[in-house]
Structure 1
Amino acid sequence: MLNTLTFIAFLLLALPGHSCPHVEHSRSFPSYNDALEIARSNNERRVTRQVSAPAKTAITNVRVFDGEKLLPLSTVFIEGGVIVPYASEATVVDGNGGVLLSGLIDAHSHPVSVEHLENFASYGVTTAMVMGCYPYDICHSLQNHPGLTDIRFAGQGAVAPNSTHALLGAGVPLNETITSPSQAPDFIARQLEAGATFIKMIAEDVGSPTLSQETMNALVVAAHAKGVRVACHAADYSAVDRALTAQTDQSHHVPNDFPLNSSLISRFVAQNTISVPTLSIFLQFDIGGRPDGAHGFDVATASAGALNAAKVPILAGTDANNVPGPFSLAFGSSLHTELELLVQAGLSTVEALRSATVLAAQHNLLFDRGVVASGMRADLLLISGDPIANISATRDIQRVWIGGVEYTTVSGN
């Protein structure tokens, strides 16, 4: 039985031409050469974009979200791309009594182009975790664009030969698939050499080709030996079970076949495993219609709520992607949808805000961001309303700063 979350978003980046035969709507992807052309264009944009240097800025008359609550009206100073206690002769920006958040972090996304980074930035998403890329040129070309969303990426996801994810997009080269636990150390080394800061592995549903439990275990051991974390795609009950058995650090998606029961949830708690539910993409599937007619969104929402009730840390991730057709999910705006869906699933508004700021930073080892505090990177989102009273207020964007550079063409929301 093929799980619905064989859907696109997992590594669908701009890979060589291949149509996925496993979903109702087949899709064609760019060729390998087209992918390299996209990377070339991204690199060219990096060179030709005109970006101002980080300015001394005093953001006055704002209530800061400190990760737990809103503080009284105050002033936040930026200098040299970081938050500082005070900056003399700073340009004053009146916050008009609004709320200043740390820039949002999308913990699961698939950007391909500079335009996607601009979309992220326009919605206050200042950091994005990119869940796998091949060819590696794509991810490299998205790095180091001053004033645009900062990315961290996994390299090629660990997949079994002839598995659904191995066949998506262009298809994973056979020498990049994993057939034995003995291959794990070399696979991890290749991803780190390509610049990955974490590892992604894919647990397919039972009944289709997938990584063996022994191989999954070996991948986590090899990654941990190198001091890097592992995110596991696990979108059905059996896959989550196997991800937890492998001691993965993060479980991405939640089951859309059967809700998590107390036994699996207790293992999340005991192992300190993080959940990234990606409810947005489940909602997208219900809107587009699933081939089996089931409502995976309802099942996924129930699991997310149960995890939160058990105090499992939850990070906001979307699976935003550029795949054509009903599976496409917008970059930037979808993270605001994710926050709303998490609140509907049972998170408090404060918990939802933490899932896209301080927790997302901490659990992805990004210790220079995630909170509005002196010495931290000046990734900031200024909004008009009160997101603790109404999480949808995160959409009321006034201004965005990334590394101290103001993003000036914020799109309408």
Structure 2
Amino acid sequence: MRTLILALAVYQLAVVASASPPVFFDKVDVFDGEKLIKDTGVLVVDGTISEIGTAIEPPPEAKVIDGDDRTLLPGLIDCHTHVVDESNLSQAVMFGVTTELDMMSIPGFARSLRKERDNPKAEVNRADFYSAGAAITVAGGHGTQFGFAVPTLAQSDNPATFVRQRIGEGSDYIKIMIEDGSAYGLERPTLKKQMVQASIDAAHERDRLAVAHVSTVEGAQLAVDCRIDGLAHLFCESAIPKTLIEQMKQQSVFVIPTATVVSNVAGHNSTNRLIEDDSIAPLLTPTNTTNLKNTFPNQAKKRNSLDKLKANILSLHRAGVPILAGTDAPNPGTVHGASLHHELRLLVESGLSPQAALAAATSLPADSFKLKSRGRIAVGYRADLVLVDGNPTKRIEDTSRIVGVWKNGRAIDRNVRINEVMREKAKPKTTPDSKGAMQVADFESGEVKAEFGSSWIVSTDKMMGGVSTGTMIVADGGASKTKRSLVVTGTVQDKAPAFSGVMFSPGPAPMAPIDLSSQRQIRFWAKGDGATKQLMLFFQKRGFTPSIKTFKTSNEWQEHTFKIADFDGCDGTDIIGFWFGSSQPGEFDFQIDEVSLTQ
């Protein structure tokens, strides 16, 4: 069964605009997006860079920032993320990432933030956000497994109409999935060449860039032959052919290698360097730390080589192909904001100079994606700025030594984040009762809710193009001595993908893993139509692919207990969700009650 995770709520955010006080950076070294300017001044007025030079007279009301032994950088741009919640953007800015380029998310989210994003005077405390919205893929193809419904392109569909619909939803550029799963030891349906070509043509006709997800040489060659603008990800199972490099150079194709996540897939997770970085660690929540330690399933590790990945990055860079920095957060081994600093280090380790790596996260993304007034420190540009101790044009690790971040000329209070992290770390874990159990839900209130976590949702194969249905309600009649229970009903279609049920997410936010290693078992009561049902456990070490157990229902309440470790060796440290449901075609109904985790 394909991957199944939660669809996430999207919040519409108000724009607050007001004048900001002038800021003057005195005697600071400036990396302007291309080169270093030594010992100069930078004046910011009303959210915009007003002057740069050595003879600036700041207004008396200006806040003066000492730049001695410090470097001022343009706000960093992460060119490959997946934004599922506004908190991702709030976190990113704390690490100096002032703009994120989302490469697939819930359609409409970007549109809701566009007015704020396009106003350089807006008072915001988060990164700005551009998005591909829904990616172009086929039914069951890559991008359909992430827990929210996405439109899919069929052979009989008109790609031009499909692209126009994506733009209407708010897509700033078009993401095209060229992925058959072979690089990861999987099999997936994928787009045919004529579908790729027609989609790229349609994007260009509407003045949109087209970016292709690729994981193989063959996928990259197909995309470039079809005149793609950029590649998301870079393969590491083989060397990139010189002929392809030359073709990419001639066609001005940019590449977002996402070295952090690709190296993690290849079995080389080196993100402990972030966890051990004294400048980054105070801003990492326990959930962040857990995700940085997580790795992908190891299907492809024998084929992939980190050295080949780095060699491919260097070959492209030396040929003049633009290399852009992107993390693919929040995949295993990554988090929003902090991981961009690790990506820059990997680019330098691949052979780029620190200055070239900085350009990969500033001026080059702005040029490649046509982002106005971003990515540079220049007069008239918006004042998205990062001040760091040291000189990252010589030592790339200095990007994490952040003194301050300014968004639209306003200082971001990073102490707020540090204090939040300290409070979260000080909180006790969800506490078991006197018998060592942690109650999830007994439904006695009459509401569908949980004692902790992100509650319950109906989860069906509709997210993958299926037509199965499902409902959940709290009804009278419970197990043991309880008065109520959760009733789950629906109809499962008779062809794959085929599933319907309900899911509980125990983490502090949807998709967020939680450490439940203190608990060894999940226990619940169930009754139903007599058919076999499934319990699926999602945890990040399996790359969001569930481990599955079955249980039998009857017209009498029965207690069921499963050991967490029996779910493919899960150690409980990174649990994402529990799913209860049916995959047998036809109508189903069952009830669950007294759900708990026990020692």
C-alpha distance in 1, partners of 2:149/2:298? 23
Q: How does 1:77-88 map to 2 (within 5 A)?
A: 77-85=43-51, 88=59
Moved more, 138-147 or 260-269: 138-147
Q: Does 2:339 align with 1:363?
A: no
C-alpha distance in 2, partners of 1:80/1:217? 45
CA contact (8 A) 1:282 1:296 kept: no
Q: Does 2:276 align with 1:310?
A: no
C-alpha distance in 2, partners of 1:209/1:52? 50
TM-score, structure 2 length as denominator? 0.59
**Gapped regions of structure 1 (runs ≥ 5):** 1-18, 22-27
Q: Does 2:155 align with 1:163?
A: no
Give the alignment partner of residue 203 of structure 1, picking from 143, 165, 178.
178
CA contact (8 A) 2:108 2:133 kept: no
Once the two structures are TM-superposed, the CA of residue 91 in structure 1 deviates from its matched residue by: 1.7
Distance change >3 Å, CA 187–CA 54, structure 1 → 2: farther
Note the alpha carbon deviations across 1:314-341, whole angstroms, 9 max, x for none. Answer: 11011011x5xxx251111110100100
**Total equivalences in the alignment:** 371
Distance change >3 Å, CA 66–CA 283, structure 1 → 2: same
Give the alignment partner of residue 373 of structure 1, picking from 361, 373, 378.
378
**Equivalent residue number for residue 293 of structure 1:** 301
**Equivalent residue number for residue 86 of structure 2:** 114
C-alpha distance in 2, partners of 1:147/1:96? 26
One-letter code aligned to 1:158: I
Distance change >3 Å, CA 296–CA 190, structure 1 → 2: farther
CA contact (8 A) 2:90 2:125 kept: no
Q: Does 2:39 align with 1:73?
A: yes
C-alpha distance in 1, partners of 2:248/2:163? 24
Once the two structures are TM-superposed, the CA of residue 189 in structure 1 deviates from its matched residue by: 1.1
1:251 counterpart SS class: strand
Q: Does 2:34 align with 1:54?
A: no
Report the RMSD for the aligned CA atoms in angstroms: 2.3
1:128 counterpart SS class: strand
One-letter code aligned to 1:122: M
CA contact (8 A) 1:84 1:375 kept: yes
Note the alpha carbon deviations across 1:324-359, whole angstroms, 9 max, x for none. Answer: xxx251111110100100011111111101110111
Distance change >3 Å, CA 52–CA 328, structure 1 → 2: farther
One-letter code aligned to 1:155: G
Greater share of residues in helix: 1
One-letter code aligned to 1:271: Q
Greater share of residues in strand: 2
C-alpha distance in 1, partners of 2:80/2:300? 25
Distance change >3 Å, CA 344–CA 237, structure 1 → 2: same
Q: How does 1:8-407 map to 2 (within 5 A)?
A: 20-21=2-3, 28-31=4-7, 35=8, 38-40=9-11, 43=12, 46-47=13-14, 53-85=19-51, 88-89=59-60, 90-134=62-106, 136-141=107-112, 143=114, 144=116, 146-172=124-150, 176-180=151-155, 183-205=158-180, 208-285=188-265, 286=267, 287=269, 288=295, 290-294=298-302, 295-321=304-330, 327-407=332-412
Of structures 1 and 2, the larger Rg is shown by: 2
Once the two structures are TM-superposed, the CA of residue 99 in structure 1 deviates from its matched residue by: 0.4
TM-score, structure 1 length as denominator? 0.84
C-alpha distance in 2, partners of 1:167/1:112? 15
CA contact (8 A) 1:113 1:142 kept: no
2:195 counterpart SS class: helix
* Higher RCO structure (Cα 8 Å, ≥6 apart): 1
CA contact (8 A) 2:91 2:126 kept: no
Once the two structures are TM-superposed, the CA of residue 142 in structure 1 deviates from its matched residue by: 5.1
Moved more, 50-59 or 269-278: 50-59
Once the two structures are TM-superposed, the CA of residue 309 in structure 1 deviates from its matched residue by: 1.7
Distance change >3 Å, CA 365–CA 401, structure 1 → 2: same
CA contact (8 A) 1:52 1:405 kept: no
C-alpha distance in 2, partners of 1:402/1:185? 37
C-alpha distance in 2, partners of 1:203/1:181? 18
Distance change >3 Å, CA 181–CA 273, structure 1 → 2: farther
C-alpha distance in 2, partners of 1:165/1:290? 20
Once the two structures are TM-superposed, the CA of residue 386 in structure 1 deviates from its matched residue by: 0.7
CA contact (8 A) 1:114 1:142 kept: no
C-alpha distance in 2, partners of 1:110/1:328? 14
Once the two structures are TM-superposed, the CA of residue 166 in structure 1 deviates from its matched residue by: 2.6
C-alpha distance in 2, partners of 1:270/1:364? 18
**Gapped regions of structure 2 (runs ≥ 5):** 117-122, 270-294, 422-599
